[in-house]
Every structure is written in structure tokens, then in C-alpha cells.
Amino acid sequence: MSEAQIEEAVRALRASVPEVPHLGVVLGSGLSAFADSLTEPRVIPMDSVPHLPVPSVPGHAKNLCFGRIGKARLACFSGRVHAYEGHPLDRVVFGVRLLAALGCRAVLLTNAAGGIRDDLGPGSFMLISDQLNLTGQSPLVGPADDRGPRFPDMTEAYDAGLRTLGRDAAEALNLDLREGVYAGLLGPSYETPAEVRMLRTLGADAVGMSTVLEVIALRQRGVRVAGVSTITNRAAGLSASPLDHSEVQATAERVRRVFVEFLTRWATLASLELARE
Ligand code: HPA
């Protein structure tokens, strides 16, 4: 039963990091540099945490890093597992449920995504306003989970207050932060041009293979959630070139410094707010 496994992972982590984190962060493809900006870092390899599934994708780091930004305590995953790796969904969301069980009251999720809307070119950033879960799956399927409602409300899945802080962080850095709807698909093949046209019609602004299941799991546990997509490429059929994972990694690398600056400022603002509550 995964709940007992989460408890066991919490106990193991508390033994080496007793402080309760305020804010959780999940870093997507090529975006793990943020973890290096934490002070008093404690880096825990994911494969040393009991039951925690470890990602297998190249370009994904595999650590859980505890540390601080100012006074705030953070727990930060560099790397995540995806449903396309073949894990059952309670394994896919194990990491974010672990953040909730450790005490995080808010989680910032980051990902790499393909831009669908015309203004979302490679290297741009999109604050996620809402999501389309098009994986055909949910981590909540199965017996009711008494740590939250059977039918969680998803009206404001991405927290309005945290989004405002994201906009404030971008403004302070003079960063052109776009905003839009993220569509999460199972993958691992990229979309066809016809699928991208369908996604645009459905209201998606960007597309990726992560995040949406984590958001559902976190909202069910009452954790506040926000997310930002780094647009690493135009979605399939919207540029002349075919898609390639190395392009995703290269763009993430190119924007690394700005991304780290933005996320650091956003996490700082979010932490200050959480500390006040
Ligand atoms: N599609 C799906 N996932 C992605 C993409 C994309 O174009 N870019 C980065 N992750």
C-alpha cells in the first residue's frame, strides 16, 4: 500500500533532515540548476529514499534537495517520473505526495513544453493558468483516499495567489512571462501535427507529458499548486524541423540562467507568504 510507503519515506528523510519544508518544487527536463541556488543544501539521491521511484530519462537529474531561500525551507525534486515510463500512477505521484506528507503547503511545478499558441516560441515562459488532463488517466482512480475528498474540486487548480506572485517575480526581473493552458498527454511519442491542431481547438496553449497528474494528486491533498512551462520548441507541425529531445534539452540549457533567477524570486515570494500564514 503506497500510503504506508510514503510514511516510511518520510521517516527515513526526517532522520537526516528533521526540519519541515514550507514549499516544494519539482524541476522538469534540463531545469535542475535551480537546486544549486539553495543555501545549506542537503542533497539526497532519489534512489536512497525508500520506495521513491527514480526517473530514467536522460537530461533528468535524480535528487531530492533540501535547502533554504532566505528563511524559507524548500524541498526540491530534480527530476520526476512520468507515466510513459510505465509506472502505475500511484508511483508517478509518489514524489509529490511525499512533498505533501513532509509538510509542504504549496508546490511549484516546472516542465518543458511545446508551444502551440503563436506567441509561445522556444525560450519563452508560460505561467500555467489551467490544464487539460489528456492522459486518459487519473492517480485518484481506485479506493477512496481518506486524506482528501473523493471528488476534489479543480475549479482553481492553479492557485490564484501563487500565480500573482509569479507575475510579480517576472515583473521585477523584466521577464516577459506569458500565461496559458497546459495540456498533459501520456507520450512518449511527440504529437502529430493533426493532434496539435486538435489541441489548439481544445484550448491548449502548450503541450507536454507531465504535471497534470501531479496537480490532481496535490489538489486532492489540499496542497496549493502553481506551475511554469519553459517552452523548448514549437509543437509538432508548427515549425519546419522535426522534434527531437536534444532540442528540448538545448533550449532548457539556453534559458537556464533566466529560469533560475525567475524561479528563485518566485519561490522567495511564495515562501514569504507561506511563512506569514
Ligand atoms: N510535446 C510534448 N512534450 C514536450 C514537448 C512537445 O512538443 N516539448 C517538450 N516536452
Task: Indicate the domain borders of the chain.
Answer: 3-276
pLDDT > 90? residue 33: no
Rounded to a whole number, what is the largest CA-CA distance in the chain?
52
pLDDT band at 240 (very low <50, low <70, confident <90, very high): confident
pLDDT at 251: 85
What integer best gives the mean pLDDT of the chain? 92
Phi and psi angles of residue 130, each rounded to the nearest 5 degrees, phi first? -165, 175
pLDDT of residue 233: 94
User: Is residue 243 lining ligand 1, measured as CB closer than 6 Å?
Assistant: yes
Q: Separation of 29 CA from ligand 1 center, angstroms? A: 10
d(CA 238, CA 192): 10
Q: Assess whether pLDDT exceeds 60 at residue 201.
A: yes
Dihedral of the CA atoms 191, 215, 126, 266 (nearest 10)?
A: -150
Q: Residue 56: what pLDDT? A: 82
pLDDT of residue 166: 97
The mean pLDDT of 141-145, rounded to a whole number, is: 91
- How much is the pLDDT for 1? 55
pLDDT at 246: 86
**Ligand 1, atom 2: nearest CA belongs to which residue?**
208
What is the percent of the chain with per-residue pLDDT over 90, rounded to a whole number? 76
Q: Is the pLDDT of residue 57 over 70?
A: no
Q: Ligand 1: distance of its center to the CA of 166 in Å?
A: 22
The predicted model gives 259-266 an average pLDDT of 93
Q: What is the pLDDT of residue 159?
A: 97
Dist. CA 179 → ligand 1 center (Å): 17
Residue 218 reports pLDDT greater than 90: yes
Ligand 1 close to Cβ of residue 191 (< 6 A): yes
Give the pLDDT score at 243: 86
For 239-265, what is the mean pLDDT? 88
Using the predicted structure, report yes or no on whether residue 105 has a pLDDT greater than 70: yes
Q: What is the pLDDT of residue 178?
A: 98
Told to judge if 87 belongs to the known catalytic residues of this protein, a careful annotator would answer no
Contact at 8 Å (CB) between 106 and 79? no
pLDDT higher than 80, residue 59: no
Q: Is the pLDDT of residue 234 over 60?
A: yes
Mean pLDDT for the stretch of residues 119-144: 96
Q: Is 207 in the pocket of ligand 1 (CB under 6 A)?
A: yes
Residue 81 has a pLDDT of 92
Is residue 182 in contact with ligand 1, taking CB distance under 6 Å? no
What is the C-alpha to C-alpha distance for residues 260 and 277, in angstroms, rounded to an integer? 26
Q: Across residues 165-183, what is the average pLDDT?
A: 97
At 220, the pLDDT band (50, 70, 90 cuts) reads very high
What is the per-residue pLDDT across 60-80, written as a single tens digit (0 to 9) for each? 668 999 999 888 899 999 988
- CATH architecture label of 3-276: 3-Layer(aba) Sandwich (3.40)
